[in-house]
Amino acid sequence: MSTVDVNQLLNQMKHMAALADRKPEAAPDNTSGLDFENVLRDSIETVNDIQSHASDMAQKFELGDPSVNLTEVVVELQKASVSFEAMKQVRNKLLSAYKDVMSMQV
């Protein structure tokens, strides 16, 4: 039986917010190991993993697995929903930024 550690989840969210608020350096280089493509790919894979886990738990609950209870399933499904909505918002912001850049006059 897995439990949700709220404090750990909040710490992860704070860490991600701090990374997002960090100012870019004057001359960006790839020596830091942070590559936009890799960060985006890892985020998408994380959302996919969360959704897969929630789906698996829901299926186990539906099949009557005694090791899975309803509250865990609901929490996992909500985490999957929130992470997917956040990913959609990131996609919308990226598309908006792309449109802004493409409409700039050179």
CA distance 42 to 40: 5
Confidence of residue 49 (pLDDT cuts 50, 70, 90): very high
Return the domain boundaries, the chain: 35-106
Mean pLDDT of 30-58: 86
> What SS3 string covers 54-92?
HHHHHHHHHCCCCCCCHHHHHHHHHHHHHHHHHHHHHHH
Residue 30 one-letter amino acid: N
pLDDT of residue 28: 53
CA distance 45 to 43: 5
